[in-house]
Structure 1
Amino acid sequence: MKRLLLPTLPLLALLAACGAEKEERAKPIPEAGFIVVKTERVPLAIELAGRTSAYETSEVRPQVSGLIKQRLFTEGTLVRAGQTLYTIDPSLYRAAAAEARANLASAQAARVAAAARAERYRPLANIEAVSKQDLSDAQATAGQAAAQVAQTRAALETANVNLRFTRVPAPISGRIGRSLATVGALVTSGQTDPLTTIQRLDPMFVDIQQSSADLLALRRSLAAGGVVPSSATVRLKLEDGSDYALPGRVEFAEPVVDTTTGSVTLRATFPNPNGLLLPGMYVRAQLSQATATDAILVPQAGVSRDPQGHATLLLVGPGNKAVSRAVRTERTVGDKWLVTGGLKPGERVIVEGLGRIKAGQVIRPVPAGSPPRPAPAKATDAKPQGR
């Protein structure tokens, strides 16, 4: 039996090798959809937390003391600058103004009499009908009377100002809050508690917090080149996850770092015509502080991770073979990776058919998005029978 089997072993091995080679030739070459790498300008967007605040805020306080007689506004409505909000009992201030007017009239009459006396003494002093001292005294009295007129006129102006302050006006235009004082309440000049608060809500401020480390990295990348400053346009995402329709603009960045949070405050301004934004709302601000001038973007579907977490991708190599390449990915931009190392413009990255392709395998490269090629018809082994 051994003598019979030994000559047949080489024949069996040859038949198996031929079958494997035939099967390899029959296996179809997989298609690989690729994209051609190119450089482009890409805004580097970031998302930061922020809080809204009123564009202007004014606490209304009385400038004279007295009892509140009227409240002339509706809480929560819009008021305009100069509109009267409260009236304070003006009785004492009206009387003080009347007294000041009377004092002014008296001082003016005394000035006229003193000036006339001084004028009459001047020719008499020249003929020595009166002494020089009497003339000097008359002129001094006329000067004192003129000064008294100026003093009483200033007192009248002060009295009128205090009388005008009995009508408490709105310092700014905006939406007024609730009243913290009622009719009949006693208020005093210079009190610490405000009567009410007015806030201007169109436009609105948004104070955005950015870590000082990120700001330092941004400045270094700008200094190193390849990145240029972007426009200051900002978009908002509200607390419920919805997008705010109107864009804003960064106005300035504070030149100091908050020692408690280690962050820098960026202030942006947003139009708020419908009053959707209210002071104190938590928002997410989306903005681009820099633009990469020679960025390379690769679809996320074309990038995978090895067991160490390094980013890799497959390229169309020489001889239409798939070549694995390690690359450096910095961040995502939409549905793509920003590749900062390992790729050059003009190289072909495989992004379709990756499940059927391995590194070193022969492939049929086609542009990504091409329609699939129809499968070839199977050849028949049957031979035509001759007559």
Structure 2
Amino acid sequence: MDKFYLTAGLFAALLTGCGKHASRQAMPPLRVEVAEAAVDSVPNRMSFIGYLASNFDAVIQPRVNGYLSSKRYGNGMPVKRGQLLFTIDPDQLSTSMLAAEAQLESARAQAIEARNNYDRAVPLAKIDAISQSQLDQYTAQWKAAEASVRAAEQTLSSARMNVGYAELRSPIDGIIEHTAAHVGDYVGPGTQFSVLTTVSNIDTLTVDVAIPMSQYLRYAGDRTSIYDNEGLLSDIRLVLADGTQYPHAGLYDYTRKDVSSTTGTLVLVVMFPNPDETLKPGQFARVEANVGPVRPRVVVPQQGVSQAQDLSSVWVVTADSTAQYRRVTPGDTYGALWCIDEGLEPGERIVVSGQQKLRNGAKVIPEKR
């Protein structure tokens, strides 16, 4: 009797399994949302990481030696062109100027005496009262005295300039750094304080954009010079650390002369205007720009592309409404679209909704989104 029930149970289980298999075969095709792979003119959008830098720095160097008598600015604060930054004790410089003035007066007096001697010697030479050699001597003394006057004038002019150099003023508008020198330190050429500080221009800030040479050669087109990259970058934008986009667009400035031997990149310098002084040198920056000319690309909605373990794939709906799994090579994203570099042809339909229910070879009912 037990054998009978066991046989009946197995028979019932087989019938149930066959019924389930039959029901799976009889399942209706899934309705899926599809979109066509299209061709669009897509820019080669690239992102670069860097730091903002001053457009140029003005180095503040004392031209004369002396003791620092005052400092007239706050470290790290904005300064204006012509603003007084430092003063050097002018007493020693003023003494040198007074000595140069006295030397000039003496030279002028000697020149007057030499000219008078020459004027008296000329008529005497005409009547042979003195020899020609004596006249030549008076002439030489007069010319030498005049040269001494010119030399003394130059010495006085230099001394006056040195007195003016006792005041150091900012040559540009910008942000000033701190100084290691303190009031009372001996500063100037040949001392440990030959450079006092720098003023950084912040009207315009720059960022280095490093493009791998492989990508540069792909996008550069028929450029005749690797140093002339005007127009290579377009729609240059700066993204700040908090993710917001800086309102002012950037401009290409120049290309640095060397290709990096360690990274194999070509460095282009782009600049951003800073009229409101909201940017600061050293600030982190992400630059986004179109590189090279716009070219046609195969694009699909991003929802249609699945990624797992560095593999990208799509579900393609064939002409007979069959779902086909296919690996693809994606490129850049472009808004809500994804560029597909390999694996998909224009006009092919891909599933953009319901991919998790699909299996390879399954029949589907495609519906355009």
Partner residue in 2 for 1:266: 268
Preserved contact between residue 174 and residue 201 of structure 2 (Cα < 8 Å): yes
* Alpha-carbon displacement from aligned partner over 1:333-383 (angstroms, at most 9, x marks no partner): 344321123433333333244455555555444321xxxxxxxxxxxxxxx
User: What letter corresponds to residue 74 of structure 1 in structure 2?
Assistant: G
Tell me the distance in 1 between the aligned counterparts of 2:115 and 2:108: 11
Partner residue in 2 for 1:346: 347
Partner residue in 1 for 2:239: 237
* Alpha-carbon displacement from aligned partner over 1:193-218 (angstroms, at most 9, x marks no partner): 333332222211222344xxx32233
* Alpha-carbon displacement from aligned partner over 1:178-206 (angstroms, at most 9, x marks no partner): 34333333323343433333222221122
Partner residue in 2 for 1:378: none
Tell me the distance in 1 between the aligned counterparts of 2:310 and 2:59: 60
Partner residue in 1 for 2:9: none
Cα RMSD between the aligned structures?
3.3
Choose from 235, 257, 260 the match for 2:259. Answer: 257
Higher CA-based Rg: 1
User: What letter corresponds to residue 298 of structure 1 in structure 2?
Assistant: V
Which stretch shows the higher mean deviation, 231-240 or 51-60?
A: 231-240
Partner residue in 2 for 1:277: 279
Tell me the distance in 2 between the aligned counterparts of 1:70 and 1:260: 46
- Which stretches of structure 1, 4 residues or longer, exceed 6 Å deviation after superposition? 305-308
User: What letter corresponds to residue 273 of structure 1 in structure 2?
Assistant: P
User: What letter corresponds to residue 217 of structure 2 in structure 1?
Assistant: R
Name the SS for the 1:296 alignment partner: strand
Tell me the distance in 2 between the aligned counterparts of 1:290 and 1:276: 30
Partner residue in 1 for 2:218: 220
User: What letter corresponds to residue 164 of structure 2 in structure 1?
Assistant: R
Partner residue in 1 for 2:152: 152
Query: 1:153 Cα deviation (Å)?
Result: 0.8
The TM-score with structure 2 as length reference comes to 0.79
Tell me the distance in 1 between the aligned counterparts of 2:81 and 2:309: 67
Partner residue in 2 for 1:286: 288
Query: 1:77 Cα deviation (Å)?
Result: 2.8
Query: 1:86 Cα deviation (Å)?
Result: 1.7
Partner residue in 1 for 2:225: none
Tell me the distance in 1 between the aligned counterparts of 2:310 and 2:145: 98
Relative to structure 1, the CA distance from residue 261 to residue 35 in structure 2 (aligned partners, 3 Å threshold; closer, same or farther) is: closer
Query: 1:148 Cα deviation (Å)?
Result: 0.7
Paired residues in the alignment total: 342
Unpaired segments ≥5 residues, structure 1:
1-12, 369-387
Relative to structure 1, the CA distance from residue 33 to residue 207 in structure 2 (aligned partners, 3 Å threshold; closer, same or farther) is: same
Query: 1:42 Cα deviation (Å)?
Result: 0.8
Query: 1:35 Cα deviation (Å)?
Result: 2.5
The TM-score with structure 1 as length reference comes to 0.76
Residue 171 (structure 2) pairs with residue 171 (structure 1): yes
Preserved contact between residue 64 and residue 189 of structure 1 (Cα < 8 Å): yes
Preserved contact between residue 316 and residue 350 of structure 1 (Cα < 8 Å): no
Relative to structure 1, the CA distance from residue 195 to residue 46 in structure 2 (aligned partners, 3 Å threshold; closer, same or farther) is: same
